[in-house]
Amino acid sequence: MIHLPKAEFEGTGEMKGYTFSSLKENEKGFLYKVESEEGTTHYEVFKKETSPICIDFEKRIYSETEFKYRYPKANDFGKWGWCTNDIEKAERILEDL
């Protein structure tokens, strides 16, 4: 299983301009702190969701045995990802997964 970054990383694509920092992980999910270039901070909590690793991008062939955790996209929030400005609420969501 390939894990998500535990250190700080910069967002790309729709999340360009945001810095992500892993805060907590449990058996069911992750909690990240997200800071914008403008100085705002929020927290993202999401369930551990996996997808197969792509072994040939041109032919769209995916592994049947190797998987990676994935970070939710914008349309995943409210389904298996949640966002809040309150760290205590984020921690409760993570514990309640």
| 38-62 residue pLDDT tens | 999 999 999 999 999 999 999 999 9
Domain that holds residue 81: 9-96
> Would you give the DSSP letter of residue 28?
S
Among residues 94, 80, 25, 9, the alpha carbon closest in space to that of 49 is found at 80
User: Is 60 domain-assigned?
Assistant: yes
Query: Total structural domains in the chain?
Result: 1
Interacting residues of 54 by C-beta distance below 8 A, sequence separation 6+: 60, 61, 62, 63
pTM, 2 dp: 0.87
User: Comparing C-alpha atoms, which of 35, 31, 34 is closest to residue 47?
Assistant: 31
Question: Taking a C-beta distance cutoff of 8 angstroms, is the pair 23, 38 a contact?
Answer: no
Does residue 2 lie within any of the structural domains?
no
Low-confidence stretches of the chain (pLDDT < 50) are: none
- Cα separation, 77 vs 61, in Å, equals 27
